């Protein structure tokens, strides 16, 4: 069927629903198994619900369902990718179809990086009025059926909830039932999807007129009270943030103040000045909704997209609280889910463009220190997948080393950790440098390395012990420790900790010889793994009754 499979290639595709009839008729179907997310939402610290301002990203690009609709990837050159997941809390996939089911590749990539994904339910223009009249004015049975279907769809495809966007006027009967519909939908989503969310877009008022308020006020508050959050329109001024802050009270973080990166209308910031809007929003302790950050790709073009993307998110980083990884194993090859080649064990196995966000790895922080250090994505060389992480920087005169923070962690340290690292030093004198890992722990008088007779490290900085060869039990899994092929160097480390809590994982680049000159380096990271030795040594559970369906041979 054309909804589930591309008519030209027969490949499975992601899809949307149009109109009330299609929504109410929707049933799970064996043809859409490909659309079910295969990656559970990874845990994070602090949890999403903790009391700090959040960042929502609303992805709206040329009507949606572009090359990202191909569930098994496509040979797309220079596609749009998003990878600054550590800096955002919620991802919304937006289009103007009635029911936007997020393409599963986005859900997979976001979930792997601890970010929940929302679809969009939108009504607009006169068709929207008719649609709303049909299900909202119809009373509890009618709106309950829509709420039930939306909750079932989120549960079936394993995404995390809905943005509700009613962009048309409503009759008195319809607007009277709207808060009840939102309450009902929110309750159903919460029970169908763990951690599910329903967010309301600032549009219709309590009297049914369509008038964007750009703030939380008494005309739209009843919709905010009925769900998990409000996403405001974009044309706000500072006094509206002040009023919103007062009215939201303890639910300050549930107001997501809209920021249009395209800067349309009478707005503060936009483009590379988006930091101006965020600075103000955060002054009032409010959450932010960054709309259409694809501006970087659409407006500045595909050339140099990755550099421009890092510049854009780097300019906002000080206003974006990050979240930490809180489970092991942590393993990543830094792949963006795209490439100009496919690499395996350092070898370019297949030249040619590819795009598949489901194959995106866990993404690191992308630290920038003006003039000292830049972190970027390198498509020309990789250990596995399509890209490696490129670190370029200088070690200042008289200093021995520079530390690059890759991941923030927040979890109890197991008694014994194994860490593996694959890297490649580039530049004129790669032999002048050594590369290693550093693990920091949260300060605590209880935390020791190895046995309790050793003294605690100052600032909880630990340099894991280099192992020339992995222990026999792990040799197979850690084969990388011997294979330094195609110019890649592999390193294997062990760290024993007692009563510690992990904080950061950093890469340390050191000079071999002290120097009064500043020295520049370029290092590619191909893979990093942090493993709990005990769980690695345990044998994996047996898998029974495997079924294979939907086999197509070409």
* Residue 525 in domain: yes
Which of 266, 291, 321 delimits the end of a domain? 321
Task: Tally the domains of the chain.
Answer: 2
Percentage of the chain lying above the pLDDT 90 cut: 79
pLDDT band at residue 368 using 50, 70 and 90 as cut-offs: confident
- Rg of the chain on CA atoms, in Å: 25
Which of 321, 353, 383 delimits the end of a domain? 321
* Predicted confidence (pLDDT) per residue in 175-212, tens digit: 999 999 999 999 999 999 999 999 999 999 999 999 99
**pLDDT over threshold 80, residue 554:** no
Pair (144, 183) in one structural domain:
yes
Q: Which residue has the tokens 């993307």?
A: 309
Pair (344, 492) in one structural domain:
yes
pLDDT for 443 equals: 74
pLDDT for 48 equals: 96
* Predicted confidence (pLDDT) per residue in 474-488, tens digit: 776 666 555 568 899
Q: Reduce the DSSP state of residue 440 to 3 states and report it.
A: strand
The span from the first CA to the last CA of the chain, in angstroms, equals: 18
Structure tokens at 488: 């890649």
- CATH number, domain of 339, equals 2.60.120.260
Report which of 426, 420, 410, 401 is spatially closest to residue 487, judged by C-alpha positions. Answer: 426
Q: What's the average model confidence in pLDDT over 428-441?
A: 88
Pair (411, 301) in one structural domain:
no
Pair (308, 344) in one structural domain:
no
pLDDT for 448 equals: 79
Pair (231, 267) in one structural domain:
yes
Average pLDDT, the chain: 93
pLDDT for 383 equals: 94
- CATH number, domain of 109, equals 3.20.20.80
Pair (313, 347) in one structural domain:
no
Rounded Cα–Cα distance for residues 347 and 350 (Å)? 9
Pair (297, 353) in one structural domain:
no
Pair (86, 182) in one structural domain:
yes
* Predicted confidence (pLDDT) per residue in 109-141, tens digit: 999 999 999 999 999 999 999 999 999 999 999
Partnered with residue 388 across adjacent β-strands are 378
* Residue 294 in domain: yes
Give the structural domain span for 279. Answer: 16-26+57-67+80-321
Pair (475, 368) in one structural domain:
yes
Return the higher-pLDDT residue of 32 and 219: 219
Tell me which DSSP letter residue 13 carries. Answer: B
- In contact, 358 and 109? CB cutoff 8 Å: yes
Pair (452, 317) in one structural domain:
no
Pair (302, 377) in one structural domain:
no
Pair (230, 341) in one structural domain:
no
* Residue 75 in domain: no
pTM, two decimal places: 0.96
């Amino acid at each position: 069927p054309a909804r589930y499979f591309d008519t030209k290639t027969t490949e499975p595709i992601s899809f949307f629903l149009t109109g009330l009839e299609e929504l109410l008729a929707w049933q799970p179907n064996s043809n859409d198994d490909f659309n079910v997310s295969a990656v559970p939402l990874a845990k994070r610290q602090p949890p999403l619900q903790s009391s700090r301002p959040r960042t929502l990203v609303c992805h709206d690009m040329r009507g949606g369902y572009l090359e990202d609709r191909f569930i098994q990837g496509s040979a797309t050159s220079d596609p749009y990718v998003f990878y600054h997941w550590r800096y955002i809390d919620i991802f919304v996939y937006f289009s103007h179809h009635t029911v936007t089911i997020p393409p599963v590749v986005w859900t997979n990539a976001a979930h792997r990086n601890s970010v929940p994904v929302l679809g969009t339910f939108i009504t607009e223009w006169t068709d929207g009025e008719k649609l709303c009249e049909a299900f909202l004015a119809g009373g509890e049975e009618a709106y309950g059926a829509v709420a039930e279907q939306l909750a079932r769809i989120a549960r079936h495809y394993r995404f995390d909830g809905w943005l509700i966007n009613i962009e048309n006027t409503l009759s008195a009967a319809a607007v009277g039932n709207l808060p009840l519909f939102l309450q009902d939908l929110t309750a159903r989503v919460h029970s169908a999807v763990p951690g599910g969310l329903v967010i309301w877009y600032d549009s219709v008022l309590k009297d049914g007129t369509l008038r964007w308020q750009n703030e939380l006020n008494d005309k739209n508050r009843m919709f905010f009270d009925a769900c998990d959050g409000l996403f405001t329109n974009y044309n706000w001024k500072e006094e509206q943030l002040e009023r919103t802050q007062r009215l939201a009270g303890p639910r300050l973080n549930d107001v997501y103040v809209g920021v249009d990166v395209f800067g349309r209308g009478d707005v503060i910031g936009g483009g590379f000045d988006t930091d101006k809007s965020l600075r103000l929003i955060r002054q009032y302790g409010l959450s932010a909704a960054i709309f259409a950050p694809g501006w970087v790709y659409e407006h500045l073009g595909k050339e140099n997209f990755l550099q421009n993307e890092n510049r854009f998110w780097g300019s906002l980083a000080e206003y974006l609280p990050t979240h930490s990884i809180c489970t092991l194993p942590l393993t990543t090859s830094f792949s963006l889910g795209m490439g100009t080649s496919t690499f395996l064990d350092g070898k370019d196995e297949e030249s040619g463009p590819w795009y598949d966000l489901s194959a995106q790895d866990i993404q690191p922080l992308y630290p920038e220190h003006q003039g000292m250090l830049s972190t970027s994505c390198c498509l020309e060389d990789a250990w596995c997948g399509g890209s490696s992480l490129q670190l370029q920087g200088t070690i200042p005169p008289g200093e021995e080393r520079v530390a690059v923070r890759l991941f923030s962690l927040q979890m109890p340290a197991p008694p014994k950790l194994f860490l593996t690292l694959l890297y490649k030093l580039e530049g004129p004198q790669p032999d002048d440098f050594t590369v290693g890992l550093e693990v920091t722990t949260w300060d605590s008088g209880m935390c020791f390395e190895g046995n309790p007779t050793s003294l605690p490290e100052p600032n909880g900085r630990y340099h894991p012990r280099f192992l020339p060869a992995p222990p026999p039990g792990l040799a197979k899994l850690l084969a990388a420790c011997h294979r330094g092929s195609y110019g890649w160097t592999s390193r294997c480390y062990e760290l024993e900790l007692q009563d510690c809590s992990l904080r950061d994982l950093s890469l340390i680049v050191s000079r071999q010889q002290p120097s009064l000159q500043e020295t520049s380096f370029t290092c590619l990271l191909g893979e990093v793994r942090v493993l709990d030795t005990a769980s690695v040594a345990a044998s994996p559970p047996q898998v029974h009754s495997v079924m294979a369906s939907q086999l197509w041979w070409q």
